[in-house]
Amino acid sequence: MCTKFEKTLLCLILSIFTYTPPAAFGSEPKPDSGKLAWSGRMQTVLDVAKPLEFDRGKRLPLYLWPAINSGKLDDQTAELLVKELDRRGVGLIGSWSPRRRDDSLANGLTIARVQTRLGLRVNVNANACTYHFFNGDERTAHVDEAGKPFWDESFDSGSRKHKMGCPFALDFRKDPMREQVEFFARAYKEAGLKIDFVFADWEIDGPIEYNRAFDASKRCARCRERIKNIDDFLEFQRALRKIRSELQRYAYATPITSRFPDALVGNYAVYPHNGYRHWYDYFEYFVEGQPCLVDQRARYRVWYDDFPGTGFTFAMPVVYTWYPTYQWYDFDDSDYRWFYNMLLVASNAGENTPSDVPIISFVHWHTTAPPDDPDPKVKQLSREAYQELLWHMLLRGTDTFFLWCRQDEDAEEVRLLHEVYAAAQQYAEFLEEGTPVSFRVPKQPRPVVSGLRLGGRLLVRRTDFGSSAKRASITVGDREVHVSPMPGKCQVLSLR
| Choice between 144 and 332, CB closer to Zn ion | 144
How many chain residues touch Zn ion (CB under 5 A)? 5
- Among 111-119, 136-144, 148-156, 458-466, the segment contacting Zn ion (CB under 5 A): 136-144
- Among 8-16, 216-224, 387-395, 425-433, the segment contacting Zn ion (CB under 5 A): 216-224
Partners of 119 in beta bridges:
none
| Choice between 239 and 318, CB closer to Zn ion | 239
- Among 32-40, 75-83, 134-142, 328-336, the segment contacting Zn ion (CB under 5 A): 134-142
| Choice between 144 and 433, CB closer to Zn ion | 144
Q: Does 208 bind Zn ion (CB under 5 A)?
A: no
For the bound state, the minimum distance from the C-beta of residue 102 to Zn ion, rounded and expressed in Å, comes to 37
| Choice between 222 and 415, CB closer to Zn ion | 222
For the bound state, the minimum distance from the C-beta of residue 243 to Zn ion, rounded and expressed in Å, comes to 11
For the bound state, the minimum distance from the C-beta of residue 169 to Zn ion, rounded and expressed in Å, comes to 7
| Choice between 166 and 424, CB closer to Zn ion | 166
For the bound state, the minimum distance from the C-beta of residue 195 to Zn ion, rounded and expressed in Å, comes to 36
Q: Does 220 bind Zn ion (CB under 5 A)?
A: yes
| Choice between 150 and 283, CB closer to Zn ion | 150
Q: Does 222 bind Zn ion (CB under 5 A)?
A: yes
- Among 77-85, 161-169, 301-309, 446-454, the segment contacting Zn ion (CB under 5 A): 161-169
- Among 76-84, 122-130, 162-170, 200-208, the segment contacting Zn ion (CB under 5 A): 162-170
Contact predicate 355/441, CB 8 Å: no
By rule CB under 5 A, what string of x and - marks binding of each residue 166-195 to Zn ion? x-----------------------------
| Choice between 215 and 332, CB closer to Zn ion | 215
For the bound state, the minimum distance from the C-beta of residue 149 to Zn ion, rounded and expressed in Å, comes to 10
| Choice between 142 and 364, CB closer to Zn ion | 142
Q: Does 223 bind Zn ion (CB under 5 A)?
A: yes
| Site residues (vs Zn ion, CB under 5 A) | 142, 166, 220, 222-223
